[in-house]
Amino acid sequence: MAKLYFNYSTMNAGKSTLLLQAAYNYQERGMNTLLMIASFDDRAGTGRIASRIGLGADADVFSPQDDVFNHIETRSNAGKIDAVLVDEAQFLTEAQAWQLANVADQLRIPVMCYGLRTDFQGKLFPGSAALLALADNLKEVKTICWCGRKATMVARLDADGNIVEEGNQVEIGGNDKYVSLCRLHWSRRELG
């Protein structure tokens, strides 16, 4: 039976690397994967998933208004898909998370989502909240704070390296804009 998986963590835990490794494992066995990423995450180029360690692959893009079930069904009808892998899954809408659950349940294609759990203010992303509620399998991908404790929070930085406490929930960026912290140092606003 196909399942919906959600692998979550803070920034810089290696989620994209794990996704690309999973895709490679399927492809190495002659199986077909469909990779997807949010259309506005263009850090590696639009429709491109890349990891900090240099791995990358092309991907289909999704926008908030897209019906991802229909997209996957159409792609599946054109050629067998053995697994769907979604990067930056926090940017899914609640409806899209349900659509991915339907892909697993109705199309019987495993769906593996990778994304952030919370934003820089400690609030759940809508896509992450829905996936936490719907996924058959949840896995935390661990990374560490500067103090060595498990990082569970992410802080957003301004151009001068100071912690930002207000702003839009979504602002695309990498190591230049975000740092992963344990809950203690996130609440104290201590960057180490």
Say what angle helices 94-102 and 126-134 make with each other, to 10 degrees: 30
| Catalytic-residue membership of 140 | no
Q: Exactly one of 88, 140, 166, 171 is catalytic; which is it? A: 88
Separation of CA 63 from chain center = 14
The token pair at 38 is 């949010």
Cα–Cα distances (Å) from 105 to 73, 80, 102, 109, 138, in that order, read 12, 16, 5, 8, 17
| DSSP code for 106 | I
Q: Where are the alpha helices (DSSP H) in 79-153?
A: 94-102, 126-134
List 130's β-bridge partners, or say none. none
The token pair at 71 is 């997209």
Q: Where are the alpha helices (DSSP H) in the chain?
A: 15-28, 68-78, 94-102, 126-134, 183-188
Any idea which residues carry the catalytic annotation? Answer: 88
